[in-house]
Structures are given as structure tokens and as C-alpha cells.
């Protein structure tokens, strides 16, 4: 995002809405289980309605991308959705979920750092600097 730690945690300017407000546990292979769909269905629309002036939405990971973009935006998975980030910019940016597991993904997709991140960081700065 290209923001300072103080900006990152400023609740008046940046909001984090996870797809689930719980840790669903691990599967048999030790990977995180997906967020239970009931969580998003129960509260997500109500919380978003309480944030009427959202000017930039970062969709982090496949669950958020499918929820917000539906099958139109994420039919082929996170890779294709993130590669097609220009289809949704400048108000929505689909992003891979940050994880140590994504090191290989980042190496295979240098365009992410070269092309997407500079545009995203410029847009974040624009939104945060605007006294709208």
C-alpha cells in the first residue's frame, strides 16, 4: 500500500473487513480452512452499508474477490482475477492474499510488483491525501 504504520492503523481512514471474524481452523494438510460462508452472509452487507464513502476497495484473496466481484470477476481463480486488475481499477484492486506461501507466486508474476503495485500505491496516496 505504500503507507506509514500510523496511516495503516488510522481507523478513521482505513478499514479492514475480513470475510470471517473467526479463525476457522486447519484442514488435514495444515492449511487454513476457508472462512465460513455464514459469517459473510450474516454481517458483511450491514458493515459495508455503514461505510458509505468507500473510495478504494482492496480485495485480498479469492474469498473477497468472489464475494465482491461474483463469478464475473473471479471465475478462473485469484491468478486470473489479479492479472485482470485493470478491469476494476481505480476503485477496486484484486490482490493475492499476503502469505509466506506466495513467494513463488510473486517470483512467477513479476508484473505484480512492476505494474500493479505502483498504480495501487499512487491510488492509495491519492485517496488518503484527498480531504474529501
The Cα 82–Cα 101 span in angstroms is: 16
- What CATH homologous superfamily does 5-129 map to? Uracil-DNA glycosylase-like domain (3.40.470.10)
For the chain, the domains span 5-129
The C-alpha cell at 27 is 484442514
Q: What is the residue whose three cell numbers read 452487507?
A: 45
The Cα 49–Cα 52 span in angstroms is: 6
Q: What are the pLDDT digits (tens) for 30-84?
A: 888 888 888 888 888 888 888 888 899 999 988 889 888 886 555 568 889 999 9
Q: What are the pLDDT digits (tens) for 82-110?
A: 999 999 999 999 999 887 777 888 899 99
Amino acid at each position: 500500500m505504500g503507507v506509514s504504520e500510523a496511516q495503516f492503523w488510522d481507523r478513521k481512514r482505513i478499514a479492514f473487513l475480513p470475510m470471517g471474524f473467526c479463525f476457522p481452523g486447519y484442514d488435514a494438510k495444515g492449511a487454513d480452512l476457508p472462512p465460513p460462508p455464514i459469517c459473510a452472509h450474516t454481517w458483511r452487507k450491514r458493515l459495508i452499508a455503514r461505510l458509505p464513502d468507500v473510495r478504494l476497495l482492496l480485495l485480498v484473496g479469492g474469498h473477497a474477490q468472489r464475494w465482491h466481484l461474483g463469478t464475473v470477476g473471479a471465475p478462473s481463480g485469484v491468478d486470473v482475477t489479479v492479472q485482470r486488475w485493470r478491469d476494476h481499477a481505480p476503485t477496486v484492486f484484486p490482490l493475492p492474499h499476503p502469505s509466506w506461501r506466495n513467494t513463488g507466486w510473486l517470483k512467477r508474476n513479476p508484473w505484480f510488483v512492476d505494474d500493479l503495485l505502483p498504480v495501487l500505491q499512487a491510488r492509495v496516496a491519492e485517496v488518503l491525501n484527498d480531504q474529501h
